[in-house]
Amino acid sequence: MSLKHVIGRGLAIGRTALHRAVFNPVLRTAAQLRNLRPRQASYSNSSLLPSRYRYFRVSLSGLAAQLQRHLFRTASGTGSPRNRAVFLAFGLGMGLIEQQLEEDRNSSAACKEIQALFHKKMKKYENPFKSFSAGYKLEDYLIGQEIGKGCNAAVYEAAPANKDYTFANIYSSEKQNTSAEKSEKDLVPVKFSSGSIFPLAVKMMWNIGEDSSCESILKMMGKELVPASPHAMSADKRTVTLKGHFGYKTKKLEPHPNVIKIFRAFTADVPLLPDAWESYPDMLPTRLNPTGIGHNRTLFLVMKKYPRTLRQYLDETIPPHREGVQMILQLLEGVDHLYKQGIAHRDLKSNNILMEYDSVGSIRLVITDFGCCLAESYWGLKLPFNSTCVDRGGNMSLMAPEVVSAVPGPCTFIDYSKADVWAVGAIAYEIFGRPNPFYKTGLESRTYHERELPALPQQMPPAVQLLVKLLLRRDPHKRPSARTAANMLHIYYWNEKRSFLNPAIMNKTVDWLLCQCATAILQSRGYRGNTVEVELLSCFLSNIDMAEFQTGIAYLEFCGQKIK
């Protein structure tokens, strides 16, 4: 082997040593040469280095200098020329890696600046009904038709009452019907109007377990208030401490374009709303239905009205593939937003996802119905599971394997940090026009094997198909986080027209990110406003982290190797 080849080989070894994590033995060798022991790391938490570099105990340039000095001190020794050449090349390689680390520091700093800029922009997502200063009483609203019903609530379209047509006038007839002995035809239903005048939706919870006191209702149904705005409740009710099942304070959720926002929350007497007798007669209180099991008062939630649920949309339409990818991206961004605040939804399904169209006709998805969520301020995303009486949350069909197969015991916890991500993988089948593999007579999340998962449409991009498979990995440690999965789809989504994985991302990461920044800023100031694409790009940039971004690239490289 020629000296040229030896030096080249040494340089290659030096460049790749960083990625193979072989520095600890090298550091010990260098310390022995200096008769010193390796010192403890002194990097602070504010270091700009990515986390995978923070185990270095000495400067790489200093290490390279030590190696070179040792070489010259031993140049007249008996070592072979080939060994000295390899040693020199290795030292030069260490110096080159120091340059790479400096570039990584600059990249990390740029990412932090981008993140700070777009995080401020995301904070500007405000309550569109902020000018509506009232709304803390049922009489402040006009009620329209029933637009939805679940296992614990009914939803009606609504609008703020005006001077000429007040909510009190609508319910004047209902107030006279307080006798529980009246027959069904004697009960006068509430008057209502239909049309496009209802921008709001009122969700009336069914209170069958608690008494009618305001404090008891708010404490028991506190999870429904997790996505509530700071001024959702009247000032005299904001002091009520909402607690979870373990007695700890329930967390509050910051606003996000892909998570529902509750504008008002209050308790009131249960009225006789349209279709109540046909839709949910048993949930009515005895003053309205002698055989009803509901209490007189319950919780009402006011939110924006959405045209339909994702399930209703998918029953009629199969979205184009690029729009389907956009939908999955929105769900991942919403789930990541929840996780970063220590909240797990635990009942993520297409019926609990609302949709609307933006100014250019793209579909915006919104995660709703937080009644089963885990939002304990003390435990975070881990649930103590010491008894079978502990509620795992949600429905059995879409429980992640680590949740449904958990066995109760002392000091046992269920980790929900990747449970909602698994549910997104199952919903992806529905979005791409296939039956959910875990519904009806399909697979069981407790026992399925990954090889049993049905194939997605062949027209789907291979990278997206592989991502869905990764989301449905049984082992949560092998499943990407919501942030990593979102990064993977973002990289694919914004580069789809160029190539599967544009080399510019690998070689000029910061330049590519700055281009995306310019795109997001210019598009948000255009006449179309904040479209779904602009919101997605802003979410991506407001959460950009160099280490997580490179992890997403590594996953995509893995996908590329699988495709080849």
Q: Is the pLDDT of residue 42 over 60?
A: no
pLDDT in tens, 178-198: 333 333 333 334 445 545 588
Residue 97 vs residue 370, higher pLDDT: 370
Tokens of 483: 């942030």
pLDDT in tens, 427-447: 999 999 999 999 987 899 999
> Of all helices (H) and strands (E), which one includes residue 414?
strand 413-415
Query: Quick one: pLDDT band at residue 30, thresholds 50, 70, 90?
Result: very low
Domains defined along the chain, listed by start: 3-123 (no CATH), 138-305 (3.30.200.20), 311-563 (1.10.510.10)
Identify the pLDDT of residue 84.
55
pLDDT in tens, 516-540: 777 777 777 765 667 899 899 888 8
Query: Quick one: pLDDT band at residue 64, thresholds 50, 70, 90?
Result: low
Mean pLDDT (whole number) for 242-246: 53
Query: Quick one: pLDDT band at residue 92, thresholds 50, 70, 90?
Result: low
Known catalytic membership, residue 347: yes
SS (H, E, C) 436-493: CCCCCCCCCCCCCCHHHCCCCCCCCCHHHHHHHHHHCCCCHHHCCCHHHHHHHHHHHH
Tokens of 59: 């400067």
pLDDT in tens, 349-395: 999 999 999 988 999 999 999 999 999 877 789 999 988 888 898 88
> Of all helices (H) and strands (E), which one includes residue 149?
strand 141-149
Identify the pLDDT of residue 73.
59
Helix (H, G, I), strand (E, B) or coil at 366: strand
Tokens of 401: 């394997």
Q: Which residues of 373-397 are buried (b: 16+ CB within 10 A; e: fewer)?
A: bbbbeebbbbbbbeeeebebbbeeb
What one-letter code names the amino acid at 9?
R
Q: Report the alpha-carbon distance of residue 472 to residue 68 in Å, rounded.
A: 50
Identify the pLDDT of residue 476.
96
Q: Is the pLDDT of residue 302 over 80?
A: yes
CA 531 to chain centre: 19
Tokens of 511: 């330049």
Q: Is the pLDDT of residue 422 over 90?
A: yes
Identify the pLDDT of residue 428.
97
Query: Quick one: pLDDT band at residue 81, thresholds 50, 70, 90?
Result: low
Helix (H, G, I), strand (E, B) or coil at 298: strand
Closest listed residue to residue 374, CA positions, set 412, 413, 406: 413
Alpha-carbon distances of 412 from 69, 223, 245, 423, rounded to whole Å: 55, 23, 17, 23
Catalytic residue, chosen from 104, 347, 369, 420, is: 347
Q: Is the pLDDT of residue 202 over 60?
A: yes
SS (H, E, C) 238-265: CCCCCECCCCCEECCCCCCCCECCEEEE
Identify the pLDDT of residue 429.
97
Identify the pLDDT of residue 292.
93
Identify the pLDDT of residue 267.
93
Identify the pLDDT of residue 151.
87
Identify the pLDDT of residue 56.
42
Identify the pLDDT of residue 251.
74
Task: Report the share of the chain in percent with pLDDT over 70.
Answer: 65
Q: CA angle at residue 464 from 462 to 466, to 5 degrees?
A: 70
Identify the pLDDT of residue 233.
85
Identify the pLDDT of residue 545.
82
Mean pLDDT (whole number) for 251-264: 90
Mean pLDDT of the residues in the chain: 76
Q: Is the pLDDT of residue 152 over 60?
A: yes
pLDDT in tens, 159-175: 988 644 443 333 333 33
Q: Is the pLDDT of residue 235 over 90?
A: no
Q: Report the alpha-carbon distance of residue 177 to residue 284 in Å, rounded.
A: 13
CA 262 to chain centre: 18
Which residues pair with residue 150 across a beta bridge? none
User: How many Cβ atoms sit within 10 Å of the Cβ of residue 463?
Assistant: 22
